[in-house]
A and B are shown apart, each in its own frame.
Chain A
Amino acid sequence: MKMLTRIGFWLLVAAVGLFSIFPFYYAIMSSFRSGSDLFTIAYLPERLDFSNYVAVFERQPFGTNIFNSIVVAGAVVALSLALGITAAYAFGRIRFRGRSLLLMTILAVSMFPQVAVLSGMFELIRAFGLYNTLPGLILANLMLTLPFTVWVLTTFMRELPKEIEEAAFVDGATPWIVVRRVFLPLMMPAAVTTGLLAFIVSWNEFLFALTFTLTNEQRTVPPAIALMSGSTAYELPWGTIMAASVVVTLPIIAMVLVFQRKIVAGLTAGAVKG
């Protein structure tokens, strides 16, 4: 009986593991097969054929797309953190009238459906002359990252002991100095966590990127992959698409595995305590 339970347990573990990994494994394998090879099904790799990887960078501006994604995600992370840390200090450490109401409003914004602001955002981006530009996407993506950045950083900020700033205030420091000298260093781990989450959100963002860009040179990675087309309208270049998918997913997976604990801490702080 005990033996059976153990076998059952390990079968379950194996099933969950296989289900999690197989699609990505299959994408990697497909990315190394080209031509007619691709249209025969294989479960194990036979040989390494890099032609899909060459094609993805030669036949379309995929290098530019990756660069765009990095610029947009980087700027979104920097802006979210800069705004988020100052706001989180006020929300987490100072009691003032209307604090809870404001925090609740910000939390509500983080649950906004993107499509609810789509036409208004389109008009805004056009009005600023940012249509089909990276700054336009940065502005739009801030709506997705800023609210949860503030929220998660506030939860972290609240957990720091009270004595820290009291000592500084007694010494006559201004709130700004307290934020910069005392809280910024203490908040680094939390900033890394929320920064990572914001980076992933922006890196994966699709709806805004699809709607607010027009030319392939201005696209970020998700719409570039979604709109990849082949030489004929009827057959999609699956090998190239898989190669592109692997290229953009590997860094994210590496990042997630390296920062696993931090990301899990951020996710649970944002949700469980929410």
Chain B
Amino acid sequence: MSSAVASAPSPARETAQGGRSSLTRSRIRAAWIFIAPTLIVLALIAGWPLARTIWFSFTDASLNNLADYEFIGFENYVANYDGEWFGLLTDPDWWHSVWNTVWFTAVSVSIETVLGIIVALILNASFPGRGIMRAVILIPWAIPTVVSAKMWNWMLHDQFGVINDMLLRLGLIAAPITWTANPDTALWTVVMVDVWKTTPFMALLILAALQMLPGDIYEAAKVDGVHPVKVFFRVTLPLIKPALIVAVIFRALDALRVFDLIYVLTANSRDTASMSVYARQQLVDFQEVGLGSAASTLIFLIIALLIVITMAAGRVRLSGDPR
């Protein structure tokens, strides 16, 4: 936004110069022609479907006949018939999925941040084989989510899984665990697979921030004999904080819409269902487009709110940008 404000006076100045004004005007016209196709496509495939989803959330539409529906107001969200409450906001399964999603996001992003910092610090040190190591940690990130969910499903198999075998051999557990079916372990299992898959992303973003730090601070700290741990908390962490916050927000927004991993790892289980899993189940499996769209709309509002907050925070940083 700040650049729009900054650019506002400049056309006036250029018009005063006369010669450049027609060039400027033709360039601005060209700019609109160049972005028009992108804007039209995005309006068609993002704006319109979003608007329709919100509209459907106020109707009783059903998936097998999307053309025939009636406007029912807020009844998909909350309704009262004969003293009994119905609708999304009274459905315990919905609230359970909200809780699952928030818990999953908080726990997985926290673990990924800590591990990401550790991995980034390792990759920032110079040691033989660093290049190979950097390539190796990219492997989990490159594997399609569905594939990694299936791989872990197999490794976590209650009878033939290698994880149970390892833990049994090490004597850490007495009997095989049904990781993905047991309500006590299912969500932790999802977190673990997500940590495995997305820590590389976190580590790479943090590594990029680490590599931009000036080296002389560390030289000075070394000369003064400051303990490396102290250097990390007093110097490194404050300096990479802006990049860290951006990375955490990106990951959190991603985690809040989690679908593939949970759907494949634990199917439509109530114990692990995320908001997206819940919404799709209503929409497709139960054909309840109205209710499913209401859930979709709420997910959109939650994430949109976070994006607005993020961007408001980002604007402060942008205005500090000299460009």
Cα distance, A111 to B39, chains bound together (Å)? 16
Task: Assess whether A116 is in contact with B133, with CB atoms less than 8 Å apart.
Answer: no
- Kindly report which residue of chain A lies nearest to residue B308, judged by CB atoms: A108
Task: Say yes or no for A44: interface residue by CB 8 A criterion.
Answer: no
CB distance from B249 to the nearest CB of A (A): 9
* Segment at the B interface, from A56-64, A186-194, A203-211: A203-211
Given A206-B145, A241-B150, CB of A260 within 8 Å of CB of B3: no
Report B141 CB to chain A, min CB distance, Å: 8
- Cβ of B264 within 8 Å of any chain A Cβ, yes or no, is yes
User: Which residues, 138 to 163 on A, are CB-close (under 8 Å) to B?
Assistant: 139-140, 142-143, 146-147, 150, 158
Given contacts A96-B28, A119-B296, A175-B27, A222 and B144 within 8 Å (CB-CB): yes
With a cutoff of 8 Å between Cβ atoms, the chain B residues found around residue A267 in the complex are 201, 204-205
Cβ-defined partner of B35 (8 Å) among A40, A87, A207: A87
The answer to whether A12 touches B300 (Cβ under 8 A) is no
Q: Which residues 100-147 of B have a CB within 8 angstroms of A?
A: 118-119, 122, 125, 127, 129, 133-147
With a 10 A CB-CB cut-off, give which of B2, B41, B63, B303 has the most chain A CB atoms: B41
Q: Which of B136, B155, B246 contacts A26 (CB 8 A)?
A: B155
A120 interface residue, CB < 8 Å from B? Answer: yes
- Interface status of B323 (Cβ within 8 A of chain A): yes
- Note all chain A residues with C-beta closer than 8 A to B32: 90, 96
Judge if B279 is at the interface, Cβ distance under 8 Å. Answer: yes
Determine if A123 and B52 form an interchain contact, defined as CB atoms under 8 angstroms apart: yes
Residue B93 is within 8 A (CB to CB) of chain A in the complex: no
B38 surroundings in chain A (CB, below 8 A): 83-84, 86-87, 106, 146, 150
Given contacts A41-B165, A119-B289, contact A90 B53 (CB under 8 A): no
- Taking CB atoms, residues of chain A closer than 8 Å to B35 are 86-87, 90-91, 102
* B150 in contact with A139 (CB, 8 Å): no
B residues less than 8 Å from A83 (CB atoms): 37-38, 41
Contact across chains for A115 and B139 when beta carbons are under 8 A apart: no
Closest to B260 in A: A206
Question: Which residue, B45, B52, B136, B145, has most C-beta atoms of chain A within 10 A?
Answer: B45
Question: How far, in whole Å, are A39 and B161 apart by their CA atoms in the complex?
Answer: 9
A51 in the interface, Cβ–Cβ < 8 Å?
Answer: no
- Per-position binary interface string of chain A over residues 28-71, scored 1 when its CB falls under 8 Å from any chain B CB and 0 otherwise: 00100000001111010000000000000000000000000000
CB of B16 within 8 A of chain A?
no
Contacts of B264 in A (CB 8 A): 206, 226
Query: Cβ of A20: which chain B residues have Cβ within 8 Å of it?
Result: 136-137, 139-140, 196, 200
B46 contacts the other chain (CB 8 A): yes
Contact A256 B138 (CB under 8 A): yes
Q: Count of A-B contacts with CB under 8 A?
A: 299
Enumerate chain B residues within 8 angstroms of A238, measured Cβ to Cβ: 154, 157, 160
- Take A26-B162, A126-B66 as given contacts and tell me if A245 and B151 are in contact as well, using a CB distance cutoff of 8 Å: yes
Interface of B is mostly: helix
User: Please, which residues of chain A bring their CB within 8 A of the CB of B127?
Assistant: 9, 13
Q: Are B283 and A271 in contact (CB under 8 A)?
A: no
Contacting pair B7 A95 (CB below 8 A): yes
Residues of A within 8 A of B309 (CB): none
Q: How far does the Cβ of B125 sit from chain A's closest Cβ, in whole Å?
A: 7
> Of B30, B292, B293, which is in contact with the most chain A CB atoms at under 10 Å from its CB?
B30
Residue B266 interfacial (CB < 8 Å): no
| Nearest neighbor of B131 in chain A, beta-carbon distance | A260
Interface size class of A (residues with CB under 8 A): 35 or more
Q: Do A113 and B146 form a contact, CB below 8 Å, given A13-B127, A102-B39, A119-B289?
A: no
B280 touches A274 (CB 8 A): no
Q: Is A185 an interface residue (CB 8 A)?
A: no
- Asked if A86 meets B34 with Cβ closer than 8 Å, knowing A115-B279, A116-B53, A272-B208, the reply is yes
Interface residue from A89, A143, A179, A245 paired with B46 (Cβ < 8 Å): A143
A119–B162 Cα distance when bound, in Å, is: 40
Q: Inside 8 A of B311's CB, which chain A residues have their CB?
A: 104, 107-108
Q: 1/0 contact trace for A112-144 toward B, CB 8 Å?
A: 111111111111101000000000000110110
- Given A17-B133, A115-B280, A242-B154; A90-B52 close (CB under 8 Å): no
If the complex has contacts A118-B279, A274-B250, are A264 and B52 also in contact, measured as CB distance less than 8 A? no
> A181 interface residue, CB < 8 Å from B?
no
Cβ–Cβ < 8 Å partners of A97 in chain B? 4, 7-8
CB <8 Å contact, A249 and B49: no
Q: Nearest Cβ distance between residue A65 and chain B, in whole angstroms?
A: 12
Tell me if B172 is interfacial: C-beta within 8 Å of chain A: no
Say yes or no for A19: interface residue by CB 8 A criterion: yes
Determine the chain B residues whose CB is within 8 A of the CB of A200 once the complex forms: 142
Within 8 A of B (CB), among A2-37: 9, 12-13, 16-17, 19-21, 23-24, 26-27, 30
List residues of chain A with CB within 8 A of the CB of B191: none
Tell me, yes or no, whether A164 is within 8 Å of chain B by CB.
no
A sample of 10 inter-chain contacts (CB < 8 A) reads A12-B118, A24-B139, A41-B160, A43-B162, A97-B7, A99-B3, A119-B292, A206-B260, A222-B260, A226-B149
In the A-B complex, list the 3 residue pairs whose CB atoms are closest, starting with the nearest: A120-B49, A120-B52, A175-B30
- Starting from the known contacts A112-B300, A241-B150, 11 additional A-B residue pairs (CB-CB under 8 Å) come to A16-B119, A26-B151, A96-B7, A107-B311, A118-B296, A119-B296, A150-B38, A174-B30, A242-B150, A249-B144, A252-B143
